[in-house]
Every structure is written in structure tokens, then in C-alpha cells.
Structure 1
Amino acid sequence: MNAKSIKLFFFLCLITNILLISNIASAQVSVVESAFETAESKGFSGVLLLAIDGKVVFEKATGYRSYEQKIPLLTTDIFEMASVSKQFTAMMVMMCQEKGLLEYSDNADKYLNIPYKGITIKQLLTHTNGLPDYQAVMDKHWDKNKVADNQAILEYLRKYHPPMLAEPGEKYEYSNTAYVFLASIVEKVTGRDFIDLSREWIFKPLGMKDTDIRTLEEKAKVSNFAAGHIKNKNGEYVNANKFHDSDYTVWLGNRKGPGRISSTAEDLLIWDQALYNGTQVSEKTLKSAFSPQSLNDCTLSYYGFGWDLGKDELLGKIVSHTGDNPGYKTLIMRFIDQNKTLILLNNNYHEANTELVESAVAALKGF
């Protein structure tokens, strides 16, 4: 075979491989399309985004931004992130650590006037702290005609002093209280407002133009804010904020740390990709955030710093987080060994959510 024939052979092989890859990708997109259409037919309202190496391979919206006004949902609409916010709070703590403002081994009561002693910042980050649920205390005692902030939450924990649920480091137990403490610690060590600092350190530098920690009044002024919806007694979807007493996002509307970030699917992809390039913290710091934690009995807890940790046989290491608010169900899944991303934002807390995620993960395995 002469040189010209060899070149032609390799060129034909290259074209064949490109066509094969293109066909595989097209087939996987079809799988997701079908799953999305099924969810749509069942009444799902939300946005699904899939990306590989930071490039969107599927993005679609269905349902309504507002059911009452019948405003169709767009992929650019802004959703409440709920507990997906915790990874941002954890990042603020990690940035403070790298700046020498705190250590993970520091006890929380070094910085905060709280009745719970011997709990480290690391145990706050990893939900291994044993703290009681602040929401239960506020639900029982707080005047829901007022809007609580972190200072009020700390005051009520001191006043009513609910007991610890476990010894620090004894076990994993999800703790919103811990992330209220973390945001308050960031404010203490920086002397700055947590919201202003989040904008300055994360949202603005990364170009997350639609991401913020908004008050109820600020959210009302955002024209493309996708309201969370739940069904009324007639089975009709209505704005979740109308159920005032049960909607803690209203009367706990000024809390910082465990929730309250609102964002878009595409802004979350910007955030996802920034975690690969070291613009926020060092690779060493991020590695610790994605590592399981050793408990007092030397068993491991698979929650890092604001991230659930998992592994898939084909996709490799997974770091993910869900978020639940009245009317909302959110998810970011990062398959960090392969730089694949799944983002799902749902604003009518629909049961089709789970099946759609399963289909999307299956499709990502085929890309």
C-alpha cells in the first residue's frame, strides 16, 4: 500500500468513526427526548439540561412559569435551588479556609454564641454534627407574620435550646441548622454580609448573571422567575407561596446558608465547569470536599462539603445534590471522571422527576 493509499485509508477510518460517534450521540438524544416527552405528557413542568465537557447536548423546557397566568416555561427561567444552595455555602467556607480566616477543625462556638459545644466546622459541612432542626423550633414558636433571618434563628435556638440529636461525629444526619451556622461563621470571620460576599466571590466572577440570593420582594420583580407550584384541594396547580403557614420559604425568607439561591440551568453549568479549572479553590481543597468523612467509629459517611458522593460502574465518581422547596425539586449531578453533567429544575414537584433522571443518566452512559 503506497503513502497515498494509507492516507486515504486513515481518512476513511476517521470519517467512519465520526459518523459512528454522531449516530451514537443522536440515538442517546432520542432516548432523552422520548423520556422528556413522556414526563411532559404526565404534567411535568421544568427544565432538563445535559452536557458533556461543558457543551450542552440536550436542553429543553416544558410546563409553565406561572400556571395561573399560563405563561410557558423557558430554559432561561430562574428557579429556586433550595438545598442545591449548600454547595455554594460550602464553597464560601472553603474560600475562607484558603484565605486563613478559619480552620475546618475550629469549633463553631468559637465564632457563634450557640448552646452547642464541641462541633467542628468540618462536622457542620458534612452533616455529622448531631444538631437539632432549627425549622422545627421556628415552626413551633416563630410569629409567621414576620420574616426570620439567621440572627433570629440563633436567638431561638439559644432561647428554646432543643437537645442534640447525636454526639458530634457519631453519625450522618442531614442538617439545615449546620448550614445556617456556616453562613453566620462566614459573616463573622469576614465582617461582611454573606449575600454580598457570595456575589463578589462567586456569582459575578463566574459570570452567573441570573444567579443570586433574593428576597421575596426581589424575586417578585424578576419577570422570568419560575414560581413553585403545588396542587390545591381541587387538584389545580397554584403558587406555593399562597400556602403561607406551610411555606417556610416565606417566614424563613431571610435565612442564609441552607437555601435561597435562585438560578438557571445554564448558570449551574457555568458553576459546574468552574469547579474543574481551579478558579474558586485549589484542587487539593476541592478533593477534600469530594471525599467521604470518617465517623467516630471509623465508618465512612458519603457526604462531602455540600455534596452527596457516589460512584457508577460506567460513569465513575458522582458528586450531586438535590433541593426541595414547596413546589420545587432541583438536582445537579456531576460525573466528574468524564465531565458529564445533568441538571434538572422542576417547579411543580412532579412524580415524573425520578423517572426522567433515570432515563437521562442512562443516556449519558451511552454518549
Structure 2
Amino acid sequence: MKPNKPIFFIALLFFLNSCNKQDKKNTDEVLVDSTAFVNPYEVEFDSLDPEFVENTKKDIDFFYNKHFGNQYSGSFLVAKNGEIIYEKYSGFAYKEKGEVIDENTPLHVASVGKVLTATCILRLVDRNEIDLEQSVQSILPTFPNQETTVRMLLNHRSGLKNYAYLFENDKSWDKKQPITNQDVLNLLAKNDDILERQPGKYFQYCNTNYVILALIIEKITGTPFDVALKSLILDPLEMHNTFVFKDLNEKEHVSQSYKGNYKKLDWRFLDQTYGDKNIYTTARDLVLFDKATYSDNFLSANIKEQMFKGYSYERKGTRNYGLGVRLLEFDNGKNYIFHTGWWSGNTSMYVTLREEHVTFIAISNKYTRKPYEIKRLTKLFSDNFSFNFK
């Protein structure tokens, strides 16, 4: 029997139409999937005026030559709106091997690394995996003080003693044996005298706080600190030249620390703890981090408000500390946000001018206080703060 032609053609049209719809659906799915590769922390700033950039470069170059000069060993960078205006690299990462410093050379930023440690904690707070008012003891059961909270560690109001002094005075510890973060917690757990001050009452800057914070990050994430840092910050922001140093057996594979005369400094038993220090990074990677802090997807607006405010008002003055950052609080209501670093021969300074979207970074591995002078550049970008440019 011959097929009914009208019915056949209607069926054929229905089939073709269905194929077209399926093809369109598949195409739509591909288009939707492609958006997964968009950086969720990208921040759009206004483009900089070329004339402004050129004039500012000249001023910064004058400043650099006057205050840093040819003897400086390290990195120096100024950025605005996420755009690098000026950068300079000089000196040796490992002088004895002839390894020079360039834009991709990770240097030890000492206590500037506390900003990254704190940000790991704050990202976990944003994810509701931890609470700022949570007792440290509820996370690390062997931690000996029930009153101490996560926030107190972040803003240095825990009252804890510096672990370096505790180990120096511990006659049972072999000073040739490097200590670990867990060793710090173990020493606190067995020591009856771990407090300098009552928790929550006074500000006292103390590296012990950030060693413990690194352990908290490990406990909450179930991963080592370096893995957690990569997952929470480094990989999402493509900070490919940043890492945690946590094994003294690898000391020949990182940049070295020097005295001002380029005499290499010895490594010590205190050089293996992390969270308080031992993050190696570049100025360019820190710019990527700084830019991301303007994104409410990276850190919520609420958590940034808590991060960039002061908590210590026992004494009058401009100096204060937020959650992982230092502050200068001026009478005009403006806060100058920064962090300094010093460990062995490594000195560093990171400044973030929030209203002006400006970043200053200076890192040196040959002892000098020059990185701290970078704050003088503030005058080129803001009238809110009183620093002498010259």
C-alpha cells in the first residue's frame, strides 16, 4: 500500500522541527556553560588617563631613585585601579647562585602574609564554615583557653604570649630541631602560663595568633594550610607565583635572606612555622589579591566592613588593627590601611588606599627599612593623609 503523502510530509516536518529545537537547546546549553569560565571576582575600574599615568610615573621614579636607589634588593610596585603604573626589580634572590630578582621572583613577605592568612579565615566565615565569635577551643580542643575567640586571634586581642619566647625559654626543646605549628599548639597546651593579658581586653601584636589561625584553617578545611590557601585565594585569583614555605629541607629552593651588606643570614629553628609568616609572593600577585578585595563576591561587604575597622581603643592615637590589617585612623574619618613585615632580613610593606583604589607594595630580602618609606607616595594620590612625599 502506498503511503499517504500529506501525513508523511507532516510527520517529516514535525521531525525536522524537533531536531532544530534540540540543536538550539544544545547550543543554548553550550553558551550557558561557557560563562562558567568568567572570573567571578573580576572588578571593573575606570581606565586611567594616559597623561596622569605619565606624570605620576615621573614622580614615582624620582621618589624611587631618592629613597631606594641602586642598593635596594627586592620589588617595588605602584598600581591604581588594578593597573600597574610603576614597578622596579633589583638585587639578588640568591646572590651566591647569581639568581636575580624579577617580576616573577617570589620573596618572603614576612608579616604581610598575615593579610592572606586572615583572608582565608574571612572567606570561611563568609561560607558559614566558621564564626568570628567562635571559641578557638571548640575548633582545636587542646587549645588551653576557653575565652579566646577567632576574632581575638585576628585582631591581636587574645593576650597570648609570643611562641618564640616560649620556645626560647623551654630548656627541653632542642634548638636545632625546627618547630611546627602543631608544636606551638602542643607547647601552649602543656604550659600554665600562656597569657600576657586577659583575652579581649587589650591589643598586643603577637605571631602566636596567626600560627593558631593557620591550624584552624587546616582543621576547618581538612587540608594542609598551603592547599587551603591555594583553594581559597591563589588559584581563584591566578596568583601563580605565591606559595607557603613550610619545610626547612627546601630552604635552598627559595629566595634567601641577607643583612644589609649582603651577608647571608642563617636559618633558625623558628623559620618553619607559617600563617604568621613564610608566605612567598610577588608584587604582581599581591596586586591581583588587592584588586579582588574590592569584589563583594570574593569578600562580602559585611565582612570587609569588619576587616577594615579598628578594635583597640585602650589608648588614644591613630594606630589601630583590624582583622589582619593595620590601620591609621585620622581625625578626618579616613582610615589608612596597610601591613608591614619583618622577619630576619626580609622587610615588606603593603598599602591599600580603598577610596582611591591605589596599591603600594615594597618587598626586600636584604635588610632595610626602605619598604616602610613607600607610604610617602600617598601624597600623589590622596589629600586624606598627611605624609611627607619628599
TM-score, normalization by structure 2: 0.77
**Aligned residue number for residue 248 of structure 2:** 216
Letter in 2 for 1:55: E
Query: Quick one: distance in 2 between partners of 1:341 and 1:163?
Result: 37
SS at match of 2:381: helix
Query: Quick one: distance in 2 between partners of 1:279 and 1:217?
Result: 38
Query: Quick one: distance in 2 between partners of 1:64 and 1:157?
Result: 38
**Matched residues, percent identical?**
25
RMSD of aligned residue pairs (Cα, Å): 2.8
SS at match of 1:280: coil
Q: How does 1:283-362 map to 2 (within 5 A)?
A: 283-293=301-311, 302-311=320-329, 316-355=334-373, 357-362=374-379
Matched-pair contact (CA < 8 Å) for 1:32–1:359: no
Tell me the alpha carbon deviations over residues 102-121 of structure 1, each in whole angstroms, 9 at most, x when there is no partner: 21111212222122231111
Letter in 2 for 1:108: V
Q: Which has the greater radius of gyration?
A: 2
Letter in 1 for 2:344: P
Per-residue deviation at 1:307?
0.5
Distance 1:297 1:62, change over 3 A: closer
Query: Quick one: distance in 2 between partners of 1:117 and 1:315?
Result: 36
**Aligned residue number for residue 120 of structure 1:** 149
Matched-pair contact (CA < 8 Å) for 2:158–2:198: yes
Q: How does 1:216-255 map to 2 (within 5 A)?
A: 216-218=248-250, 220-221=252-253, 225-231=254-260, 236-240=261-265, 242=266, 244=267, 247=268, 251-255=269-273
**Aligned residue number for residue 166 of structure 2:** 137
Per-residue deviation at 1:296?
8.2
Letter in 2 for 1:238: K
Matched-pair contact (CA < 8 Å) for 1:316–1:335: no
Matched-pair contact (CA < 8 Å) for 2:326–2:338: yes
Query: Quick one: distance in 1 between partners of 2:238 and 2:331?
Result: 34
Q: How does 1:1-367 map to 2 (within 5 A)?
A: 22-41=50-69, 43-112=71-140, 113-141=142-170, 142-214=173-245, 215-218=247-250, 220-221=252-253, 225-231=254-260, 236-240=261-265, 242=266, 244=267, 247=268, 251-293=269-311, 302-311=320-329, 316-355=334-373, 357-365=374-382
Tell me the alpha carbon deviations over residues 310-348 of structure 1, each in whole angstroms, 9 at most, x when there is no partner: 357999543211111111101110001110010111111
Query: Quick one: distance in 2 between partners of 1:96 and 1:134?
Result: 25
Per-residue deviation at 1:203?
0.7
More off after superposition, 151-160 vs 200-209: 151-160
Tell me the alpha carbon deviations over residues 273-327 of structure 1, each in whole angstroms, 9 at most, x when there is no partner: 0111134221111111112226689999821110112357999543211111111
Query: Quick one: distance in 2 between partners of 1:257 and 1:119?
Result: 18
**Unaligned stretches of 5+ in structure 1?**
1-20
Tell me the alpha carbon deviations over residues 76-117 of structure 1, each in whole angstroms, 9 at most, x when there is no partner: 211001111111211221122222222111121222212223
Q: Which has the higher contact order (CA 8 A, sep 6+)?
A: 1
More off after superposition, 49-58 vs 137-146: 137-146
Query: Quick one: distance in 1 between partners of 2:167 and 2:158?
Result: 20
**Unaligned stretches of 5+ in structure 2?**
1-48, 384-390
